Amino acid sequence: METTLIILKPDAVQRGLTGEIISRFERKGLTIAGMKLMQISKPLAEKHYAPHQGKPFYPGLIEYITAGPVVVLAVRGQRAIEISRRMMGKTFGYEAESGTIRGDFGSSKTYNLIHGSDSPDSAAFELSLYFQKDELLDYSRPDGRWVFKANET
């Protein structure tokens, strides 16, 4: 099982898309192991996006992610990172395929609705920024046996 960080960014929250987006993860068979509605502070945003510091888009990225409330999710399941990234779609909404979150709800290059960790290492780091260990719950969904075969990797 993998756990990944998903952030529903200020534009997703302000547009009232949080329920729709969360339900897509659940319908896919992934488990919500943790969830918070919060305002990301500038220092937290700077830690999160430290790998992008010095790039031309960095100041705008910090301004965008701190502009309003976000919903932060810990999403768990087999291949949760890969599945989540595919569900999100390409970074720019106008390039994203229909059926993906960005493809269905986004058109902007700047406002792209959602963030998801891109690797197990970034997931571990990012999850530690937003959740304490005791805030992540481990439970089974009754339909879980029909989503992934027990020994399937």
Residue 52 falls in the annotated catalytic set? no
- In this predicted model, what pLDDT tens digit does every residue of 77-114 receive, in sequence order? 999 999 999 999 999 999 999 999 999 999 988 899 99
pLDDT digits (tens, 9 = 90+) for 122-152: 999 999 999 999 999 998 878 777 777 766 6
Q: What is the mean pLDDT of the chain?
A: 94
Predicted pLDDT of residue 29: 93
Is the per-residue pLDDT at 56 higher than 70? yes
Q: Where are the domains of the chain?
A: 2-132
Average pLDDT over residues 62-87: 97
Of the listed 40, 115, 117, 130, which one is catalytic? 115
Is a pLDDT exceeding 70 seen at residue 66?
yes
pLDDT at residue 143, rounded to an integer: 75
Which CATH number, 3.30.70.141, 3.40.190.10, 3.40.50.300, 3.30.230.20, labels domain 2-132?
A: 3.30.70.141
Q: What letters, b where the CB count within 10 A reaches 16 and e where it falls short, cover 53-76?
A: eeeeeeeebbebbbeeebbbbbbb
pLDDT average, residue stretch 2-30: 97
Tokens of 57: 């888009």
Mean pLDDT along residues 12-24:
98
Mean pLDDT of 21-25: 98
Secondary structure of residue 141 in the 3-state scheme: coil
